[in-house]
Amino acid sequence: MKLRILGCSGGIGSDAQTTAMLLDEDVLIDAGTGVGNLNLDELIKIDHVFVTHAHLDHVACIPFLIDTVGSLRTRPITVHAIQATLTTLQSHLFNWQLWPDFARIPTPSSPYLQYQPLALGDVIDLEGRKIIPLPANHVVPAVGYQLDSGRASLIFTGDTTSNPALWSIANQIENLKYLIIESAFCNQKRDIAVRSKHLCPSLLAEELEKFERDAEIFISHLKPGEADVTMAEIQHCIAKFNPRRLENNQLFEF
């Protein structure tokens, strides 16, 4: 499996793009503004979008993706998410007011978009590639994902705050190679992180005390205006884990 980072920022500007990752050539993990880095030929190949939660920085490009390539494909794009997220997308995005309902275009029997609900404990097997939803703790219903090639696994936490349920699962993944975890705020904004159910460096350090695997750790969702400060605080708080900043166009092979 190959995972290419299209966007991993908590905002936009100065080449920053919000969360989107391309698994091999046909699967998106979230679909924030980073999807715009793909060319048309790459967009046409996307068959599946696995969404962590319904916030715009993770779903903003789903409407544009489907509007762009729907008529160029022979089958619908499948959006996978927990039911609460799908309900939000159907009610507040693909509702004919904010955007057309592509689950009914060009016809209800042959749409450009289809939804597939998933739940914690599911194992979605795409030709030997296992995608497993993981618990997340955010202000809206959310999940993270384990991507398992058989040889190795990668965890993407999605947006989350303190989350004991995640670590009880992560610590049992024997082939875990990579952990991508967020830190959306610097320590000065710990109160905002707590209220918005994100992490900051001090909260991240508390979380990683529960982590028992020897995996490479990468930090996502840094705010463009304070990314350097936040990373410096992270490297001070959890130096023993050798954390690194997740970068656009970074490629993970596992």
Please write the tens of the pLDDT for every residue from 89-134: 999 999 999 999 999 999 999 999 999 999 999 999 999 999 999 9
Per-residue model confidence as pLDDT tens digits over 143-192: 999 999 999 999 999 999 999 999 999 999 999 999 999 999 999 999 99
CATH code, domain carrying 29: 3.60.15.10
The predicted structure's pLDDT at residue 211: 97
User: Three-class SS string for the chain?
Assistant: CEEEEEECECCCECCECECEEEECCCEEEEECHHHHHCCHHHHHCCCEEECCCCCHHHHCCHHHHHHHHHHHCCCCEEEEEEHHHHHHHHHHCCCCCCCCCCCCCEECCEECEEEEEECCCCCEEECCEEEEEEECCCCCCCEEEEEECCCCEEEECCCCCCCHHHHHHHCCCCCEEEEEEECCCCHHHHHHHHHHCCCCHHHHHHHHCCCCCCCEEEEECECCCCHHHHHHHHHHHCHHHCCEECCCCCEEEC
Structural domains counted in the chain: 1
* Per-residue pLDDT band at 86 (split at 50, 70, 90): very high
User: What is the pLDDT averaged over residues 213-224?
Assistant: 97
- Domain range for 162 is 2-253
The predicted structure's pLDDT at residue 63: 98
User: What is the pLDDT averaged over residues 209-233?
Assistant: 97
CA angle (214, 217, 219) in 5-degree steps: 165
Q: What are phi and psi of 144, to 5 degrees?
A: -110, -175
Per-residue model confidence as pLDDT tens digits over 56-65: 999 999 999 9
Could you tell me if 88 and 75 are in contact, meaning their C-beta atoms sit under 8 angstroms apart? Answer: no
